[in-house]
Chains A and B, each alone.
Chain A
Amino acid sequence: MNIKEILKVTINLVVIYAIGGALLAWVYSETSPIIYKNKQEDKANALKGMMPVHLVVNAPEGKADAIKSVLPEGATVQLDGNNLDAVVDLYKKDKKTLLKKISKAGALSVSEYSDFDPGQPKGTWEPSHKQAEYFEVTGKDGQVAGYIVESYHKGYSGAPGIYVAMDKDLVVQKVEILSHGETPGLGDEIEKKWFKDQFRGKSLDHLVVVKGETKDDIQAITGATISTRAITNGAREAVEHMMKYKAGELPEPGHVEEEGASGH
């Protein structure tokens, strides 16, 4: 290979990679603001779904029973004329299907509202070196009704992100998966309803993974114990964090910043 040949090859490679790089940079700059906005929207939607939701269904005469039958187990229903008020628990993935089923059953319209308000984040913490927010949920009466905490814990591939909702005594009410990269077919079982439903009513002592059948603790997914642990430990750390918050052991957010500024 003489100099001329080497130059030719180098220029060829550099030109094509420069074009490829420019193209990728352009696509990234066009899409990343939209992707960021989508993620924020997803999180806001997930946050809404962490608290019981009232579905107000406008049901034509005679359709109320059909609509009641498609509501999930444990939903409390009140019928007032043509308006059906159902308090339900919605998981991110099931929401669309449920709304579809309700309109298929003959509903004219569906709207939703909640008695609870998470307000703005109370602060941030750092589970598994990720920035995460926590919220104080207030009920209709303006009193603290519970907490919602974003949490991360290392799994099989990356750290799955979750929201954990607890009541004011820090008993877990609901866990929802925000994002994960666990293996399709094994670890992604964490998204299944049976798995997430296990967390309801668990206090700190029972957020422990057990292999084999259990009602008291968290049952491991067969073939995906690491993914199970990631979610369970994420939830446990969230509860522990809120214990510190309630005990007033967390430094004020402003205080942390000052320390960081003077320390470095």
Chain B
Amino acid sequence: MDTRSNLEIFRDGIIADNTIFKLAISLCPAIAVTSALKNGVMMGVAVMFVQTMVNLTISLMRNFIHPRIRIPIFMLVISAWVTVTDLAMAAFARDVYAEMGLYVQLIVAFASILAHAETFASKNTAVPSVFDGLGMGAGFLFALACISFFRELLGKGTVWGLEVVSFKPMLIMILPAGGFLAVGVLMAFFNWIGMRFYGGKPAGH
């Protein structure tokens, strides 16, 4: 059982255990969809929702899962939530689906969701698991928003599709190589803040 309060669990998900900047997992989607702010935010919202629902489901099921087969069960729960969300949105929320559909389908094999089903939800009760899911999701959303904001601004000169600066944009920033650059620089920046002001440790330690 986790001894932290729900609020602390939520906060740690955003800062201390940030999926991208601290744990450095789920980097593939973080690079693939962050070429524009809108895409990054949409993906973040989709992940936040699925991560919370998966955490809730796993924590409720945890006494019925044999430890030897926990991973395939986690995969089932994640893909089931993705499929159900995808189908339900396409049927009942067409406007939302037109915007979010592309992103939800990308979630299925998502390291950060799998990781927290394993390390948190399978060992804790429902309420803290929901807070963990919300926190990790919010942290992922924050990271994606930061990365995509800078990539779009530098690579296209726009923010959320609106032109803000007129210079010849650095096309490389919206190509995959620019994704690696942005993630690296931002990760270094957030680690520097952590060490300089809060005495934290760099990622991976």
Contacts and interface: CB of A to CB of B under 8 A. Distances in A.
Contact of A27 (B32, B33, B64, B83): B83
Contacts of B69: 9, 12-13
A186 interface: yes
A215 to B, nearest CB: 21
A97 to B, nearest CB: 13
Interface residues of A, number: 25
B64 A16 contact: yes
Contacts, number: 70
B195 to A, nearest CB: 32
Given A34-B91, A34-B92, A184-B102, A24 B84 contact: yes
A12 B64 contact: yes
Nearest to B151: A185
Chief secondary structure at chain A's binding surface: helix
Nearest to A42: B94
Nearest to B69: A13
Contact of B83 (A12, A24, A30): A24
Contact of A16 (B68, B76, B84, B103): B76
A222 B84 contact: no
Interface string A1-22: 0000000110011001100100
Interface in A2-55: 8-9, 12-13, 16-17, 20, 23-24, 27-28, 30-32, 34-35, 38
B56 to A, nearest CB: 15
A255 B84 CA distance: 43
B128 to A, nearest CB: 23
A223 interface: yes
A75 B174 CA distance: 35
A1 B149 CA distance: 52
B78 to A, nearest CB: 11
A181 interface: yes
Interface in A151-177: none
Given A8-B66, A27-B83, A186-B174, 16 more contacts: A12-B64, A12-B65, A12-B66, A16-B61, A23-B80, A23-B84, A27-B84, A31-B88, A38-B91, A38-B94, A184-B39, A184-B102, A185-B34, A185-B39, A186-B35, A222-B171
Interface of A: 8-9, 12-13, 16-17, 20, 23-24, 27-28, 30-32, 34-35, 38, 181, 183-186, 188, 222-223
6 contacts: A20-B77, A24-B83, A27-B84, A28-B87, A185-B34, A223-B171
